[in-house]
Amino acid sequence: MSSAAPEAQRPHRARSVALLTAVSALSAISPLIALPLITRAAGPTGFAEIAIGQALGTLAATLITFGWAVRGPVEAARSAHPSRVFRASIVVRGANSLVVLPLVAVVAALASHADDHALAIVSALAFSLQGLSLSWYAVGVGRPLLALVFDAVPRIVLNLAGAIAALATGIPLLYPAVLLVGTLAAFLVATWLIGLRERFSTRAAIADARAAYRGGWRTALAAGLLTFSETAPLSTLGIAGAPAAIGFAPFDRVLKYGYIGVYMITGSFQGWVSSATGEAGLRRMRRAVGLHALLAIALGAGFALVVPWATPIVLGPGFEISSLTALFGGIALAAMTIATALGMCVVLPAGRDGAYLAAVCVGAVLIVPAVLIGASTLGVAGAAAGVAAVQLAVLGALSVTAVPVLRGR
């Protein structure tokens, strides 16, 4: 395997970034398209179960990914054998799945308020499998079509099919069940076509996976802690039995969809930024951060102004979000957008993995007490304020490292 000729590399042009961003945005809105159907099929209580499962599943997906979504585009963009990078990720993520999936099922059962826990458990397992996504690889090699065919389109189809089935039958469990089966099928097909169809050395793939475990633990730990800080609020309120848990669920889901969209959009820039060095790379970093600053203003203002009146219209009666809660959500989303750009497009490409991990640790340490204290003081709005405060703290921590890099120091 080591003697194989280098694979043909696709240039990371602005056009590829634009197409990948469009595909990422399409993937991000896929759950939103089905959201009105899901809330009407499940009701407030059932939706809270799905939301708890999704929060836990998102964290589990990050553990399964082991940082590939963060460092994978950089490695694939700089590798002469990107398919070898992909095969190593298959081994790592497959092994992680065998450990993580049973654990997340148990935790979902503990966090669930339902008698049978099935809705939370299946939701957690379904969203955990998003850790098997290949979108990071498509970004790294600059191939938007891969992300469209194996990520964006399956997400839209599965979300709509599951939501329609749940609404038509009155069985909310069908929604996560369809996601679970369909996501696994899409992963198996993509894995065969991209990584396993050609001749390769199994021994080399296992050796590469071991090297990934040794060299990628900082990034993986940072990714896990980052996801924890973003999924812990609802899970914490659910496990603690806080009265604000059900009222916090719709706010948490809408905010998380914003987070997902930002991650996908930011990830689209990683291959483009990482494929350039020196002054060219620095210019790309600055452009990426500048575009994200504009995006942060738009998303933050949109969340604060639109969410309060749009949520009950889209989700249905019983899913209200107050103006104060939405304001804190807008602040959190704006801060998160800029922080994500600094981390993924500046700090990590500059090789400052330790600084990235330290900044993420700030959020992981603060999130649980911030949400619990906020919820006990102001209910749902207080919990949202805690989320906003933590996101601002993470942004400040990342700025300490990112600003000197952007200045060329």
Residues 6+ positions from 38 with CB-CB distance below 8 Å: 47, 50, 163, 166, 167, 172, 175
Q: Are the C-beta atoms of residues 41 and 172 closer than 8 Å to each other?
A: yes
**47 to each of 14, 54, 107, 387, how far by Cα in Å?**
40, 10, 18, 21
Which of 379, 380, 245 lies closest to 326 in space, CA to CA?
Answer: 380
Can you give the pLDDT at residue 366?
95
Q: Are the C-beta atoms of residues 237 and 375 closer than 8 Å to each other?
A: yes
Whether 1 is in a domain gets the answer no
Give the HSE-up count for residue 288: Cα atoms under 13 Å, Cβ half-sphere: 33
Q: How far apart are CA 403 and CA 171, in angstroms?
A: 51
Q: Are the C-beta atoms of residues 73 and 274 closer than 8 Å to each other?
A: yes
Which of 276, 16, 257, 31 lies closest to 146 in space, CA to CA?
Answer: 16
Whether 6 is in a domain gets the answer no
**176 to each of 106, 202, 318, 337, 347, how far by Cα in Å?**
17, 34, 22, 28, 36
Domain that includes residue 304, residue range: 14-406
* Whole-prediction pTM: 0.70
Which of 354, 274, 353 lies closest to 82 in space, CA to CA?
Answer: 274
Whether 366 is in a domain gets the answer yes
Q: How far apart are CA 56 and CA 65, in angstroms?
A: 14
Whether 27 is in a domain gets the answer yes
| Structure-token match 């989700």, residue found | 315
Q: Are the C-beta atoms of residues 70 and 133 closer than 8 Å to each other?
A: no
Q: Are the C-beta atoms of residues 163 and 31 closer than 8 Å to each other?
A: no
Residues 6+ positions from 10 with CB-CB distance below 8 Å: 16, 141, 142, 143
Whether 2 is in a domain gets the answer no
Q: How far apart are CA 340 and CA 275, in angstroms?
A: 19
Helix or strand run (H / E) with residue 65 = helix 14-65
Whether 361 is in a domain gets the answer yes
Q: Are the C-beta atoms of residues 265 and 217 closer than 8 Å to each other?
A: no
| Structure-token match 């992680």, residue found | 96
Q: How far apart are CA 154 and CA 38, in angstroms?
A: 18
Instruction: Write phi, then psi, for 310 (nearest 5 degrees).
Output: -80, -30
Find how far residue 216's CA is from the centre of its chain: 18
Residue 25's Cβ-count burial label (10 Å; 0-12, 13-18, 19+) is middle
User: Residue ranges of the alpha helices (H) in 194-277?
Assistant: 202-215, 217-240, 244-274
Can you give the pLDDT at residue 2?
41
Whether 233 is in a domain gets the answer yes
Please list the pLDDT of the chain residue by residue as tens digits (409 residues).
Answer: 344 444 444 445 556 666 677 776 677 667 777 777 888 887 877 888 888 888 889 889 988 988 887 777 777 777 777 778 888 888 999 899 999 999 999 999 988 877 778 899 999 999 999 888 888 888 777 777 888 888 888 888 998 999 999 889 988 899 999 999 999 998 888 888 876 777 777 788 888 888 888 877 777 888 788 878 877 887 778 766 666 777 788 888 889 888 888 887 887 787 778 777 788 889 999 999 999 999 999 999 999 999 898 888 777 777 788 899 999 999 999 999 999 999 989 998 888 888 988 999 999 999 999 999 998 888 889 999 999 999 999 999 999 999 999 987 7
Residue 89's Cβ-count burial label (10 Å; 0-12, 13-18, 19+) is buried
- When divided into structural domains, the chain yields a total of 1
Whether 234 is in a domain gets the answer yes
Q: Are the C-beta atoms of residues 373 and 397 closer than 8 Å to each other?
A: no
